[in-house]
Amino acid sequence: MISIPPQFAVSDLVNRIKTATSKAIRKKHANAIAPFLWGSRFWSNSYCAISVGEGRSIESIKKYIEGQKLPS
């Protein structure tokens, strides 16, 4: 979980994180991760951003994340 100031766009941060981690992991582990990619994509196009508070607990967010499925 992360916290960002409200003046920053969540989508920009997510895209930067996805780009940096994809490049780093591909550079070190290209052969090992190949069977787990979605075609040539490391990440799916989507992301989830949820605020904690206002009726949402950390536990409910963890449950949501654990319930996600791999794309077909």
Could you report the per-residue pLDDT of 30-70, keeping only the tens digit for each? 889 888 887 778 887 888 787 776 677 778 878 888 887 66
29 forms beta bridges with none
Q: Which domain holds residue 45?
A: 10-66
71 domain-assigned: no
5 domain-assigned: no
Query: What is the pLDDT at residue 71?
Result: 56
The total number of structural domains that make up the chain: 1
Tell me the CA distances in angstroms from 4 to 13, 24, 42, 60, 63, one per residue in order: 9, 23, 24, 21, 22
